[in-house]
Amino acid sequence: MTAPRTARVSDATLGAGDGTVEAYVVEPADGRIRAGILFLHWLGEHRSDRTQFLSEARDLARLGVRCVLPAGRLPWGPDPVDAETDVANIELEQRRLGAALDRLAADLPEGTPVALVGHDFGAMHGLLLASRRPAFAAAVIIAATPRWGDWFLRFWKVGGDRHDYLRRLAPYDPVTAARALKVPTLWQFSERDYFVAPMSAVELARASSDEPAIQWYQADHAMRSAKARVARSVFLRRELGLG
């Protein structure tokens, strides 16, 4: 009988200069990697850091998946302040997440499938990354909003004209980036999310497809749902060919 695989968790510093990012790298201890997943966490009241998906990453590593879980910066660290600064910080986040994606893909055999999983701000940054780096074979997008302004203008003190701000950030908005998402995608939303209205969720998902695969849960914005976690696992195993 074959012994079950074990997962190895490493604490890594990736990238260089202002693009440095702290990340967990979780992979099968035997080094036999079948797929990769980039996990991007949320901003919230619990596990608002790179530990959010650590348990799921460990489970997947036992199936032969390398997972990279980088720490988010905007808006965990600097607050949104104005259009020019926020665009610069979004671009910086793209460099940081790009370094995490490079670590995920490092030394993988050609054709090894890679997926994206993001929640909240992690999902929003992830959609922009996916539009620029078409390396993903599948994606799971959880409780994201269509526009940065949906959050930043509502919950932070942002300088300048509101309409100018929205126009300036429009090229970076998730709803813009989603149009380039041409891979199987599971969209997970809550039916009672205080922050993301159902019509906003549908607008974002439909930017990528006329008939997006949207699943609704009886949860809140935190999406602490066992059903959602199981659905992610089933989707990722199928799309990554894990059996």
Q: Where are the domains of the chain?
A: 7-239
pLDDT per position as a tens digit, 55-86: 999 999 999 999 999 999 999 999 999 999 99
**Burial classification of residue 2, based on how many CB atoms lie within 10 Å of its CB (0-12 exposed, 13-18 middle, 19 or more buried):** exposed
pLDDT per position as a tens digit, 134-164: 999 999 999 999 999 999 999 999 999 999 9
Which residues, 6+ apart, have CB-to-CB distance to 8 below 8 Å? 26, 27, 28, 29, 61
How far is it, in rounded angstroms, from Cα 28 to Cα 82? 43
**Burial classification of residue 31, based on how many CB atoms lie within 10 Å of its CB (0-12 exposed, 13-18 middle, 19 or more buried):** exposed
% pLDDT > 90, the chain: 96
Give me the count of residues in the chain: 243
How far is it, in rounded angstroms, from Cα 65 to Cα 85? 36
What tokens were used for 145?
Answer: 């909003």
**Burial classification of residue 108, based on how many CB atoms lie within 10 Å of its CB (0-12 exposed, 13-18 middle, 19 or more buried):** middle
pLDDT at residue 8, as a whole number: 97
Answer yes or no: is pLDDT of 1 > 50.
Answer: no
pTM above 0.95, yes or no: yes
Answer yes or no: is pLDDT of 183 > 50.
Answer: yes
The identity of residue 220, as a single letter, is: D
What is the CATH code for 7-239? Answer: 3.40.50.1820
**243 confidence band (pLDDT: 50, 70, 90):** confident
Q: Find the helix or strand (DSSP H, E) in which 86 lies.
A: helix 83-105
Which residues, 6+ apart, have CB-to-CB distance to 81 below 8 Å? 156, 157, 158, 159
